A and B are shown apart, each in its own frame.
Chain A
């Protein structure tokens, strides 16, 4: 197991180096001149040059790159110009916000999609199969920002059930002391029930938005994979041996159908992180997605590089976790690993 993890991490190193080089070059290739942008509306040419010098952008590209990698090696991601803060600290502060939202969204989605997919597969052509088809089609064809805005309009503006879409906590609550960075956990650790409620109620709409968006692939994959497994010989054998339908479906079929679903989950998780960008915008969520987009708009190199690098590391880790999960679910994979 440990050797497998070590091996996998070794393989990740070249791709991370590639990511560093490519993002560096790509951000430099962006149109727009950060020096002119940050010199402000009333800047003269000299003022722009002064800023360029201060930012070190007057140096040749190769020198800039070596300085960047040198800083990176010391864990310094550079400074964001738009927010004025060190990128590493910002990402550290913002990643939990995005992760909490994404994980909860994914959890809600799984809780709905997997039973729905299983039921649809066991009764193909029935009303529940149609329900599964309709919800997933609707969910995937609505853009997330649209679903988000509709939810805000209905549940906040019209009905007033949901709190103001103002980020992770009501304005008048203070954030709990950081333990995990996840407010749902930290508020409980701090035994602050009111803040926990506030954090949870703030999370419901954005998490639902993400869940609606990600229902489709999970439910469809569960259904397809269940159908394939249910048609296979060992299920027929199990049925023929007189096992109860629930034992057949849950113990035999479901576990075998899980592998492709887990793969889909990892994919869904990664594109949810992407969809987050829009959801964060709609709900004023202080996550890394909105951070990266703002940086990109203002040609702010350091956060974009930091964001891409963080994402790359997260993908590597995520894939590792998925592979380990495969092993847990299917012993055959373990042997090959």
Chain B
């Protein structure tokens, strides 16, 4: 560049910068657009618009939920605080008009007027292709399908253009609920097949970038890491026509800015804020803050039971007495959580999960138990946590560290980067750690199957193995499938009691999902996936 050109371009820039910066003037057309547009701000955005894709992240689930339909979905009921809450036990059709459950199969009749976004009608072969895809692509979707004993393409049978049958491999209470989660979404098979290739027979590359469903919304613009813009599908037949015409979802990494945007009234909804912010926003009352417990979710302290000192149940009980439960509730969560400790001594075990255990902070008892176990002078150990959730995990671990120091237990804190956390969990070598588990399917035996069963899944982070426990869990699953309530209740109470006697992991609290929104936003619903459902929302 010559000096003269350089100077010219510089003076051009200077002229531009000299123009006064006016606050953006919004014409009346734009004001209308605003009242029908929902502006969501959150920390992270989707990395893939298709839940069947490789490594689709949790924000991606939200897109799938709103842009695709499933055969069935849940009814709503009134939840804690009057907030609409999905009803675990009641189903209604979304793409299906009718569902008939037989002994070893279930038959769905499709809505005849259902159309995909491009106008092609939704047929039984789309349903079969989509379910085949979910059980075949591998990774998370296939795994989730198998949780409901849906594993083979042969299970999905086309009867005629508008009728599909799903055959059961075995009786499993979770099969029907598993058809109402996000994964078994119905995809426009003709459109995707046209864009598939030999290397990519299920067209995952195509659906990663655009939605090919029949859902209430469709993605019109997606800039990864910046924004997702969705528009209403006016031809949607899955339910009543949503009120929100357009959804703009912006990624704002700074939590402080998300709060500022909400308080200034520029953004409509945000989640993923620090608990302290939620607590303060609740207190000042300018915004609606909804806090609801995670269904089937618990934050806990886990102990590796295969190695000393935690192989000794006395040590584990001592740990359960040494946890600073109330401090964690107050100083870490600001009260936004359900305590999972300190149940009354005479409270009978319920057929429910999660439910609190009977331990309380009691350092004398902890000391006595430690002495009995031969650790009167304490020991040294390491407590690990996932840095992705450092906002909660870090203060929590510091409190635990302080508390254990009173017993002479020297604890080093090990911060594990988010990318590494799952690898570390899989190794099952961390002696002491905190973690959250929460299941989409809200059944006690589902939770216990993943977290306490001797088949040692990644979530049995403690490597806990007990023949008695396995028998109870398997018993509850069989009893649930057979509808034997008495046996089921006995087994559930049995495994809860055993978990709280053996204490391989110490439940601390049931976390809350917190959502802050403007006062003029209504229709928030709690779903098992804890993401937003725009279809029921309204503004003004």
Please list the residues of chain A having a beta carbon within 8 angstroms of any beta carbon in chain B.
30-34, 36-45, 47-48, 50-51, 54-55, 80-85, 90, 93, 103-104, 107-108, 111, 149, 152-153, 156-157, 160-161, 163-167, 170-173, 184, 188, 194, 197-198, 200-201, 204, 281-284, 286, 290-291, 294, 297-299, 321, 324, 328
Residue in contact with A31 in the complex, picked from B41, B417, B422, CB distance below 8 Å: B417
CB-contact partner of A204 in B14, B21, B256, B459, under 8 A: B21
Evaluate whether A197 and B24 lie within 8 angstroms (CB atoms) in the complex, with A47-B142, A153-B260, A167-B226 already known: yes
- Tell me if B266 and A164 are in contact (CB < 8 A): yes
- Knowing A197-B24, A286-B226 touch, does A43 contact B16 (C-beta < 8 A)? no
Residue of A nearest to B29 (CB): A172
Do A172 and B144 have beta carbons less than 8 Å apart? no
Contact A43 B140, CB 8 Å, known A149-B254, A184-B16, A298-B418: yes
Please name all residues of chain B whose beta carbon is closer than 8 Å to the beta carbon of A36 when the two chains form the complex.
422-423, 426
* Interchain CB contact under 8 A, B33 and A172: yes
Which residue of chain B is the closest to A207 with respect to CB atoms? B17
Q: Which of A83, A173, A201 has the most CB of B within 10 A?
A: A83
Chain B residue numbers with a CB within 8 Å of A321 are 1
From known contacts A81-B55, A82-B47, infer whether A171 and B22 are also in contact, taking CB-CB under 8 Å. no
A-B contact pairs, 26 of them (CB 8 A): A32-B417, A32-B419, A32-B423, A33-B423, A38-B55, A39-B55, A43-B143, A43-B458, A45-B426, A47-B140, A50-B139, A84-B47, A85-B224, A93-B223, A108-B17, A156-B260, A164-B261, A171-B250, A172-B34, A197-B19, A201-B23, A201-B24, A282-B253, A282-B257, A286-B223, A286-B225
A57 CB to closest chain B CB (Å) equals: 12
Q: Least Cβ distance of A153 to chain B in Å? A: 7
Query: Could you tell me if A165 and B458 are in contact, using CB atoms closer than 8 angstroms?
Result: no
One digit per residue, 1 when the CB lies within 8 angstroms of any chain A CB and 0 when it does not, for chain B 213-227 equals 000000000011111
In the complex, the chain A residue whose C-beta lies closest to that of B224 is: A83
CA distance A90 to B419 in the complex (A): 22
Is B97 among interface residues, defined by CB-CB distance under 8 A?
Answer: no
Main secondary structure of the interface of A (DSSP, over half): helix
Tell me if A290 and B253 are in contact (CB < 8 A).
Answer: yes
Chain A residues positioned under 8 Å from B25 (CB to CB): 194
Supply 18 further A-B pairs (C-beta < 8 A) apart from A84-B48, A165-B252: A32-B418, A33-B420, A40-B55, A40-B57, A42-B143, A43-B458, A45-B458, A47-B143, A82-B47, A84-B46, A160-B264, A164-B261, A172-B37, A201-B24, A282-B254, A284-B257, A286-B225, A290-B253
Interface pairs A-B: 4 shortest CB-CB: A38-B55, A83-B224, A32-B419, A299-B419
A284, B253: Cβ atoms closer than 8 Å = yes
Instruction: Name the B residues within 8 Å of A197 (CB-CB).
Output: 19, 21-22, 24
Known: A50-B139, A167-B250. A200 touches B21 (CB 8 A): yes
Residue of A nearest to B50 (CB): A84
| Residue pair B208, A84 in contact (C-beta under 8 Å) | yes
User: CA A284 – CA B257 in complex, angstroms?
Assistant: 9
